Amino acid sequence: MSPRVVLVGPPGAGKSTVGRRVARRLGTGFRDTDADIVAAAGKPIAEIFIDDGEEHFRALERHAVSAALAEHDGVLSLGGGAVLDAGTRALLCEHVVALLDVDLGHATQRVGLNRDRPVLALNPRAQLKLLLEQRMPLYREVATFTVDTSSRSLPQVVDAVLDALASRP
């Protein structure tokens, strides 16, 4: 079993929203590893960071991603930091991965001052800029194809993902 497509990208790229729509259009299921982590931990991600620390969260994330890649055959969305783990990146090389890219301005507008994103808690714009700089090479490393979501509507992004999937051999 293998996901039809795995969505990666920075916060604000639209992974969950796009993923749900792509899954609906493909007639398949949608799974979000952040939701899996929340369900397993019994508390929101922000609380995991506060109560248990980022290292514990990343361990939960590694397990959630590995399980989802093995168990899910629909559309899979990963948290923005999942690519930080070398083992996760190695697993992703065996799958079709769509990088949903977004520029800093659009990402900042979309995430705003979202308190549920602990890695952006202090200075969201500065933190998001740093995350984009640090993680973009890792996203590109695992990506089969890239869709820029910055200036596109949700239907346009969904169509672009589906077109890219349809053009794959």
Q: What is the pLDDT of residues 92-118, one digit of tens each?
A: 999 999 999 876 655 556 555 444 444
Look at residue 155 and tell me whether its pLDDT is greater than 60. Answer: yes
Inside any domain, residue 136? yes
Conformation bin of residue 148: beta by default, left when phi > 0, alpha when psi is -120 to 50: beta
Inside any domain, residue 51? yes
Which neighbouring-strand residues pair with 160?
A: none
Q: Across all residues in the chain, what is the average pLDDT?
A: 87
Inside any domain, residue 155? yes
Inside any domain, residue 168? no
Least confident of 56-60, 125-129, 162-166: 125-129
Domain count, the chain: 1
What's the domain range around 60? 5-161
Q: What is the C-alpha to C-alpha distance for residues 140 and 142, in angstroms, rounded to an integer?
A: 5
Inside any domain, residue 26? yes
Read off the pLDDT band of 35 (50, 70, 90). very high
Inside any domain, residue 143? yes
Inside any domain, residue 166? no
Question: What CATH number is associated with residue 73?
Answer: 3.40.50.300
